[in-house]
Amino acid sequence: MRIVFMGTPDFSVPTLTEIVSRGHEVVAVYTRAPAPSGRRGLDLTPSPVQVVAERFGIPVFTPKTLKGEEAAEQFRSLNAELAVVVAYGLILPTSILGAPELGCLNLHASLLPRWRGAAPIQRAIMAGDKETGIAVMKMEAGLDTGPVSLLERVSIGPDMTAGELHDRLSMIGADLMGRALAALERGGLDFTPQTDDGLVYASKIEKSEARIDWSQPAAKVHDTIRGLSPFPGAWFPLGADEARVKVLRSTLADGSGAPGEALDDGLTIACGTGAVRLVELQKAGKQPMGAATFLNGNDVPKGTQLA
């Protein structure tokens, strides 16, 4: 099939690679424009999808918006039968959604209709969900409201981080989209309309959510830590200078005390109820490190009160 691929981050790359490997003709890739980088923001870093697309020799478009007749005409001129959208980052207006003969398929990382929206992977873990999934749906004007064709369920381990779940869903999703395209070519891809039963929105992660609130129950603190790992990273201030320390891994632990109190010399920290043990941490400008290494250079003895 003649396909336009639309995606931006690392999560999108396996699906683009899968589509190419299955012999489809990717006539163009749409991705977000290169982002400023470097110390003064003067360098421009292309998206992971752009890097891979150029390696494949696929034409790349980086419009700031898809609104307007000029953008629609450019898209229509590609004569694509189908668009595949994976974490693109721009809203597709109706002029784009209706351009391909077979419409636009989207890969969404949740068990729709649960966790429609921007941050389904993080929100599922932060809510303590035991499973999530990834779905192929046909796009329409509403936010993640389109009918679903294929869906794969994935268990969320008790200590699994958002980064680990992201990588797993990315690979499963690539295979799922490949199967969806094969079925579509055979004329056998069926769609089931979504209902609003169990609907929950996965709103964008706000900066204010990243500071650890030790007064929360241990399970909630643990789920917040792993749901925000590795980015943006749940954090707490440490020392007289209140340097930010990100916690990238934790586990539930036995013990109780005042919220934020170190219960031993090994970073077991009391919460509102119960406790968590901090397993992997990162200070600003430093590499992630295990608890033992962190404690070699940071004094957090039993009785320390974390803010």
Q: What ranges do the domains of the chain cover?
A: 2-201, 207-297
Q: Where are the alpha helices (DSSP H) in the chain?
A: 13-21, 48-56, 69-76, 94-97, 120-126, 162-185, 218-227, 291-297
User: Tens digits of per-residue pLDDT, 70-128?
Assistant: 999 999 999 999 999 999 999 999 999 999 999 999 999 999 999 999 999 999 999 99
Q: What is the CATH number of domain 2-201?
A: 3.40.50.170
Q: What integer best gives the mean pLDDT of the chain?
A: 96
**Among residues 106, 151, 160, which one has the least CA distance to residue 129?**
160
The pLDDT score that the predictor gives to residue 43 is 82
**Residue 272 CB contacts under 8 Å (≥ 6 apart), including other chains:** 214, 215, 216, 217, 218, 259
For residues 91, 93, 99, 104, the Cα torsion angle rounded to the nearest 10 degrees is 40
CATH T-level fold of 207-297: Methionyl-tRNA Fmet Formyltransferase; Chain A, domain 2 (3.10.25)
Q: How far apart are alpha carbons 284 and 282 in whole angstroms?
A: 7
137 strand-pairing partners: 106, 148
User: Tens digits of per-residue pLDDT, 264-274?
Assistant: 999 999 999 99
Tell me, yes or no, if the pTM score tops 0.85: yes
The residue count of the chain comes to 307
Q: Which residues are annotated as a binding site?
A: 110-113
Amino acid, single-letter form, for residue 3: I
Q: Which residues are annotated as a binding site for (6S)-5,6,7,8-tetrahydrofolate?
A: 110-113
